[in-house]
């Protein structure tokens, strides 16, 4: 027996290129969705304003609309006496304001034609809104434009307010609504089927036998895909029964997924269901990385199948290393994870001949390991907010060594 059980492992960047190439035909068509379904989607076309914002000149304060020139006085001292006319509620179009007049005006109400300033009611004497016909005394020398929100001040009709490619946030959806749009063109989402494999798996919530474990990977992959903007058509487990898996896959791919993702059943065991069913339609190999060594790529009825190893942390890390960046390369989203270099908070021993990806916590700018390197240590992965990428090496890396990290999450509470 050779000491090496496998042919030379494929470098990480080469496998990323292979996954990206496998997904290259993913082109989900753009569509138009109601604003209520737009959150988190990516805008497919430039958004051009059909309207000015503000749509008309209006009051920024509850107060009195005046002609500023009518308040001209002795250098800012004293008050100007003006004749109160009918009040202007928001939502109502006022008549023009004559010389010497002051119209009670509410925030958001159109400015009466002829008025060019608003004096807040707090500055009026007497304070409050008197009836039409009364006199109000307002501070002298009001500057023109005071507390007036100008038509087009925020947005000019015909200008691009959001370029294509922006992710739709509450503020951006609100802007579309303020412009009178009830639907937005969004990039199509790729649609994925997820299979987790293994006779030992039971779905969370079901009774568990003594040799069984709960299926963590269906939940992991569903969440990772959805976080990456992919629609998950179905995610569930299949037993280690090649005939059953083959039949299920053949039926399910007819529902029109763009992509199939599997977990488990790709390594060297006697019951590797994914490898047995898809080995002939694809490539199953080892990548020079831990976790995530055993990987597979296949195609079923033209649909790409990305096969990830079954250990939960291997699935999790494989998605971050291969599937997520491949989706970004092909579809332009999700946004790539932030990558940065940070010093090790503690000494760490890398792996000879293989990149090692450790779950890590960023602590005051330094990288501390979250648990050991074992790909079954899911609780430690759940504590992590970063992945530390350690290049292959024989020697321990001392504390302070700069290493590359992928930032997964902003720190808790940060
Ligand atoms: N002789 C060798 N054995 C193994 C090798 C190897 O190179 N030679 N590689 C090891 C590595 S590395 C990994 S990673 C795993 C990959 O195994 P598979 O992809 O074939 O996955 P399974 O055998 O189905 O399961 C492995 C492990 O993960 C647990 N698992 C699987 N699916 C789930 C799930 N959905 N939820 C929770 N846990 C899951 C499963 O119970 C096993 O414990 O192979 C090594 N072996
Ligand atoms: O690749 Mo396995 O993922 O080392 O545990
Ligand atoms: Mg296995």
Highest CATH level, class, for 31-53+163-186: alpha beta
Asked if residue 39 has its Cβ within 6 Å of ligand 1, the reply is no
For the CA of 290, the closest atom of ligand 2 is 4
Residue 269 Cβ contacting ligand 1 at under 6 Å: yes
pLDDT above 60 (res 22): yes
pLDDT of residue 332: 84
Percentage, residues of the chain above pLDDT 90: 93
87 lines ligand 1 (CB under 6 A): no
Q: What is the pLDDT of residues 370-394, one digit of tens each?
A: 999 999 999 999 999 999 999 999 9
Token pair 């037993």 is at which residue?
239
Residue nearest atom 4 of ligand 2, based on CA coordinates: 291
Is the distance from the beta carbon of residue 200 to the nearest atom of ligand 1 less than 6 Å? yes
Residues in contact with 246: Cβ distance below 8 Å, sequence separation at least 6, in sequence order: 277
Residue 1 has pLDDT above 50, yes or no: no
257 Cα distance to chain centroid: 22
CA–CA separation, 70 and 66 (whole Å) = 7
Q: Tokens 């076309």 identify what position?
A: 45
What is the pLDDT averaged over residues 126-132? Answer: 96
Please list the residues that pair with 183 across neighbouring strands: 34
Q: Mind listing the pLDDT tens digit for each residue in 230-252? A: 999 999 899 999 999 999 999 99
The 10 Å Cβ neighbour count of residue 226 is 15
> CATH number of the domain at 338-407, please?
2.40.340.10
Q: Please report the pLDDT score of residue 338 as a whole number.
A: 96
pLDDT band (50, 70, 90) for residue 2:
very low
Class of domain 12-27+190-331: alpha beta
How does residue 412 score in pLDDT terms, banded at 50, 70 and 90? Answer: low
Mean pLDDT of 284-305: 97
Q: What ipTM score was computed for the predicted complex, to two decimals?
A: 0.98
* CATH 2.170.190.11 correct for 58-149: yes
Does position 74 have pLDDT exceeding 90, yes or no? no
Query: What does the angle CA 189 – CA 22 – CA 199 come to, to the nearest 5 degrees?
Result: 85
**Picking from 67-76, 128-137, 267-276, 352-361, which range would have the lowest pLDDT averaged per residue?**
67-76
The answer to whether 97 touches 82, Cβ cutoff 8 Å, is no
Given a cut of 80, whether residue 260 has pLDDT beyond it is yes
The yes-or-no verdict on residue 194 having pLDDT over 70 is yes
Does 116 have pLDDT greater than 50? yes
* Average pLDDT score over residue span 269-298: 96
- Nearest CA-CA partner of 406 in 372, 344, 373, 360: 360
Q: Which of 42-51, 66-75, 120-129, 204-213 has the lowest mean pLDDT?
A: 66-75
Give the rounded percent of residues in the chain with a pLDDT score beyond 70. Answer: 97
Give per-residue pLDDT as tens, 210-223: 999 999 999 999 99
> Out of 72-81, 160-169, 258-267, 284-293, which region has the weakest mean confidence (pLDDT)?
72-81
Position 73 confidence tier, pLDDT thresholds 50, 70, 90: confident
User: In the numeric block, which tokens belong to residue 190?
Assistant: 């790729």
Cα–ligand 2 centroid distance for 270 (angstroms): 17
**Domain coordinates in residue numbering, the chain:** 12-27+190-331, 31-53+163-186, 58-149, 338-407
| Average pLDDT for 53-75 | 93
Compute the distance between CA of residue 274 and CA of residue 267 in angstroms, rounded to an integer: 9
> Mean pLDDT, the chain, as a whole number?
95
Which ligand neighbours the alpha carbon of 290 most closely? Answer: 2
């Amino acid at each position: 027996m050779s000491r090496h059980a496998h042919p030379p492992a494929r470098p990480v960047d080469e496998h990323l290129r292979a996954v990206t190439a496998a997904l290259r035909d993913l082109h989900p068509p753009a569509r138009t969705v109601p604003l209520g379904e737009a959150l988190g989607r990516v805008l497919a076309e430039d958004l051009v304003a059909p309207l000015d914002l503000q749509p008309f000149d209006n009051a920024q304060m509850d107060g009195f609309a005046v002609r500023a020139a009518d308040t001209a006085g002795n250098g800012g001292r004293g008050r100007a006496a003006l004749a109160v006319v009918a009040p202007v509620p928001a939502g109502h179009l006022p008549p023009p304001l004559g010389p010497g007049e002051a119209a009670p005006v509410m925030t958001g109400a159109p400015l009466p034609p002829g008025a060019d300033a608003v004096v807040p009611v707090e500055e009026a004497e007497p304070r409050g809104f008197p009836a039409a016909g009364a006199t109000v005394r307002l501070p002298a020398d009001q500057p023109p434009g005071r507390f007036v929100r100008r038509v087009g001040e925020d947005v000019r009709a015909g200008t691009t307010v959001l370029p294509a490619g922006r992710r739709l946030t509450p503020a951006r959806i609100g802007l579309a609504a303020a412009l009178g749009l009830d639907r937005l063109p969004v990039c199509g989402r790729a649609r994925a089927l997820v299979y987790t494999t293994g006779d030992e798996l039971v779905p969370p919530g079901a009774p568990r036998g003594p040799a069984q474990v709960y299926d963590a990977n269906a939940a992991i992959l569903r969440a990772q895909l959805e976080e990456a903007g992919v629609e998950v058509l179905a995610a569930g487990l299949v037993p280690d029964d090649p005939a059953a898996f083959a039949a299920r896959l053949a039926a399910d791919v007819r529902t029109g997924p763009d992509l199939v993702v599997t977990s488990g059943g790709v390594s060297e065991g006697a019951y590797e269901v994914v490898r047995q069913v898809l080995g002939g339609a694809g490539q199953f190999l080892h990548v020079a990385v831990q976790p995530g060594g055993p990987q597979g790529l296949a195609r079923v009825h033209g649909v790409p199948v990305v096969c990830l190893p079954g250990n939960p942390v291997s699935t999790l890390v494989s998605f971050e290393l291969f599937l997520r960046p491949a989706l970004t390369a092909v579809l332009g989203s999700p946004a790539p994870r932030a990558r940065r270099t940070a010093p090790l908070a503690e000494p760490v021993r890398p792996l000879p001949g293989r990149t090692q990806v450790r779950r890590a916590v960023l602590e005051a700018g330094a990288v501390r390991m979250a648990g050991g390197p074992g790909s079954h240590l899911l609780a430690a992965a759940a504590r992590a907010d970063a992945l530390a990428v350690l290049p292959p090496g024989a020697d321990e890396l001392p504390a302070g060594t700069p290493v590359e990290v992928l930032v997964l999450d902003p720190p808790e509470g940060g």
